[in-house]
Amino acid sequence: MKKACAMTAETAVQLRNVTLSYGEFVAVNNVSLSIGRGEFVTLLGPSGCGKTTILRSIAGLVQPTGGEIEVAGRRIDNIPIHKRNIGLVFQNYALFPHKSVFDNIAFGLKYRNVEKSVIAQKVKRALDMVRLPGVEKKLPSEMSGGQQQRIALARAIVIEPDVLLLDEPLSALDANLREEMRTELKTIQREVGITTIFVTHDQEEALAMSDRVVVMNKGVIEQQGSPEDVYRRPETRFVATFLGQSNLLPGRIASVGNGLATVSLDNGQQIEAAAPSAAKAGMAVTGVVRAQKVVVGKTGPIQGKIISVSYLGGTAAYFIDAAGIRLQSISTIEERIWREGEAVAISIAPADCQLLDETGHRLQ
């Protein structure tokens, strides 16, 4: 088994202008992407955005209609699936129900004609790595969902693949186990040092687990970057609305000065944003503010009224009517919860407001 390694600039997976069409429907449209060795990259997006199609293209389950795919410096899109050194964990684990845990994990090694003594060593080590020692003789039906997921992961990594592909492997688990396995999966990935591509539509999973998030929409990449960068600085309206809870505030720039752009909203109230170099007075823009950055209090420049409250434990989610503009705030509960019908004041720090231009792209 490969030992843990630090992430390097070495490219492990390279997609060049990959396209995949089904008749007139273009599932993946001219996508290029480089993934470094040891990197954990998540393809994130709604159903039908192309993320699973890319994963299946790398695995060899579907054939691109254009472009090239390289893994470990070798072009693989033109070779059959059994000649690609790929580890794959499916959403439903795809374990053989009639085979023991040992035989499930050993399947890929036997196919590669590895010696029996070596197979036994590798299976034992894989089970140790997924924290399930001594379960070789059990059947999948005798194990919990979380344990089955670990067995599927052990089967994928035991062959020492060049890249590990994870197709929504946590979606079948309940909420508590899902959170536990999210942490465990990331820990195992770091220990093994294996390049990993993870597909999910779950924003929280993507932000919690990834070195890099690739947000997809309608077959193209909308934005990619670190989880913090993609969350805090959305480049398009789609990313702003798909990832997290965002308030979109349409208006027009009234003035620019001292590094700030003052935006007159459609309801006549004003907000301030950090001014990009392209910001000019008179421009039509949309302010993007995450719900967690909308501060509700007794004093502030924007006046409003609480129209609904959702208690979330340590936080509360408020919907607020600000003179016809609907705002969402997710706030930590300090002294008390604001109640429906209460008048409140709203503050938004300029650094927490991003500006989109008329095309829906971040103003640069």
CB atoms inside a 10 Å sphere around CB 186: 17
Report yes or no: 24 and 16 within 8 Å, Cβ to Cβ. no
**174 shares its domain with 289:** no
Q: What is the pLDDT at residue 90?
A: 85
**328 shares its domain with 349:** yes
Q: Is 6 part of a structural domain of the chain?
A: no
Q: Is 3 part of a structural domain of the chain?
A: no
**Which CATH number covers residue 322?**
2.40.50.140
Per the structure, how many domains does the chain have?
A: 2
**198 shares its domain with 289:** no
**218 shares its domain with 271:** no
Q: Which residue has the tokens 């470094």?
A: 36
Q: Is 347 part of a structural domain of the chain?
A: yes
**54 shares its domain with 147:** yes
- 228: its two tokens: 């913090």
**294 shares its domain with 259:** yes
CB atoms inside a 10 Å sphere around CB 5: 14
Domain residue limits at 42: 11-237
- 17: its two tokens: 């202008």
Q: Among 205, 237, 269, identify where a domain stops.
A: 237
**253 shares its domain with 210:** no
Q: Among 216, 237, 258, identify where a domain stops.
A: 237
**212 shares its domain with 288:** no
In the chain, the DSSP E strands lie at 11-22, 25-36, 40-44, 66-71, 74-75, 86-89, 163-167, 196-200, 212-217, 220-225, 246-257, 260-265, 270-274, 284-290, 295-297, 302-311, 315-322, 325-332, 343-347, 353-356
**203 shares its domain with 255:** no
**263 shares its domain with 295:** yes
Q: Is 1 part of a structural domain of the chain?
A: no
**Which CATH number covers residue 106?**
3.40.50.300
Q: Is 100 part of a structural domain of the chain?
A: yes
Q: Is 362 part of a structural domain of the chain?
A: no
Cite the DSSP H helix spans in the chain.
51-59, 101-111, 116-129, 145-157, 175-192, 203-209, 227-232, 237-242
Report yes or no: 269 and 255 within 8 Å, Cβ to Cβ. no
Kindly state the percentage of the chain with pLDDT values over 70.
Answer: 98
Q: Is 2 part of a structural domain of the chain?
A: no
User: What Cα–Cα distance (Å) separates residue 85 from each residue in 31, 75, 95, 109, 125?
Assistant: 22, 12, 19, 12, 19
Q: Is 29 part of a structural domain of the chain?
A: yes
Provide the pairing of β-strand 212-217 with 40-44. Answer: parallel
Span 152-196, pLDDT tens digits: 999 999 999 999 999 988 887 787 888 888 888 899 899 889 999
**127 shares its domain with 253:** no
Report yes or no: 199 and 166 within 8 Å, Cβ to Cβ. yes
Distance CA(8)–CA(51), nearest Å, equals 24
At position 257, the amino acid (one-letter code) is G
Counting as low any pLDDT under 50, the low residues of the chain are 1-8
Radius of gyration of the chain (CA): 24
**224 shares its domain with 160:** yes
Q: What is the pLDDT at residue 3?
A: 38
Q: Among 211, 237, 263, identify where a domain stops.
A: 237
Q: What is the pLDDT at residue 235?
A: 94
End-to-end CA distance of the chain: 46
